[in-house]
Structure 1
């Protein structure tokens, strides 16, 4: 039986870093978000993708700011190909916040696919290079979104690789000083804490049991909204706090 979110609400793990540039842009009244990734970002079938839902949530939360959302998701892609699009699809947009959804296709796609998916090392190397490029060529805050917690990546053949990819994304983000939206942990909480069934969490039209349902997409977008608001509040509080005097020697 599905759990009742009003009774056991699972919330996202807060961001480690304040979203300083995005917070400043909101204060100026103009902010732009670029979302890049694969089918989670692009959308699939009749299920509206998370970026549009997130924009609506943020616009309602910050009604005095004009927030633009540029969706650069392309289904089936992974970090190496997405990195090749950075100049035209991300940097040229001059974003204040970049959300990069990565990792799933490198874990899930079969090595026999044509073309074959990038290897684990190729994927993590591209993420690393992408974070360096974003840091050097934009002022944007960056959020990495990790994998979805769904049956397709939890099979005996894929689960260890999925967990390793989640760990690698976390480590890459830590090294680069950027935030991770920990979707894998959030959705695991829906499954284990709220006791929401995979039948409700997975798109019922997806025979591969990979893509998020409309219900989960909505929950993920709302959780991302909570994490971003927390990151904005963290940035604002750090600016407002007076610096402490140096301790006496």
Structure 2
């Protein structure tokens, strides 16, 4: 990389909630992350996906903990199909932290997929059901990752739907008491604040102008690391240390 992400001004929006369970597992010395989603999770072309980048970032911060990353991404999928995989691909893994990347394929509506992508309402309903399932069947902290800010979802026909999806994911997370990694806002800031061109943000080999470039994927993983570390710090700072009992005379 030609720049150190830690020296660039745009930072992720902090999580609302502390990552309590994940923080506890880090203290014990062993934690497992399950990342589920579509091509942003599994990777596109020769670009190393964000989960594989995130893992060494976290290991550097928490060298005394063994952190396991399980990548359960499948390209082209959306929340309804991903929800069908939860029992085997998420819950069976006994995760301490789940990162669920959702929303993009319901916006883009790629015409060559069979079956076709689900509708907006089908997607938001599946996200709601998935969050309930995770709460009931795991102890894991949950992070929803919203869509990427790229030309494919910013066309006149799709932009309003993209913004509506971002807002819906935020509201679903608020009601469920989970965090959102606000990738849409973060990448929008890369474009508007850092003035990074879409030619750099988007994978130049992608004719659809949908997938993040290697540079952007690195920045997203770095930003996710910052957000997770802040979430762990929030959880640890909220723990009340019991006072010592008075000495017995």
Report the TM range for the smaller structure's normalisation: over 0.9
Change (3 A) 1:229 1:4: closer
Gap regions ≥5 residues in structure 2:
244-249
Q: What is the count of residue pairs matched by the alignment? A: 241
Match of 2:184 in 1: 184
Where do residues 100-179 of structure 1 align in structure 2 (5 Å cutoff)? 100-110=100-110, 113-179=113-179
Alpha-carbon shift at residue 112 of structure 1 (Å): 7.0
Change (3 A) 1:120 1:57: same
Change (3 A) 1:66 1:113: closer
Gap regions ≥5 residues in structure 1:
244-249
How many Å separate the matches in 2 of 1:5 and 1:52? 17
How many Å separate the matches in 1 of 2:24 and 2:161? 38
Can you list the C-alpha shifts for 1:108-160, whole angstroms capped at 9, x where unaligned? 02467532210100000000000000000000000000000000000000000
How many Å separate the matches in 1 of 2:226 and 2:6? 16
- Mapped contact 2:50–2:220 kept (Cα < 8 A): yes
Q: Report runs of 4+ in structure 1 exceeding 4 Å deviation.
A: 3-8
- Mapped contact 2:5–2:219 kept (Cα < 8 A): no
Change (3 A) 1:30 1:161: same
Match of 2:246 in 1: none
How many Å separate the matches in 2 of 1:52 and 1:6? 19
Normalised TM-score (structure 1): 0.93
- Mapped contact 2:5–2:222 kept (Cα < 8 A): no
RMSD of equivalent CA atoms: 1.7
Q: Does 1:238 align with 2:238?
A: yes
How many Å separate the matches in 1 of 2:229 and 2:118? 34
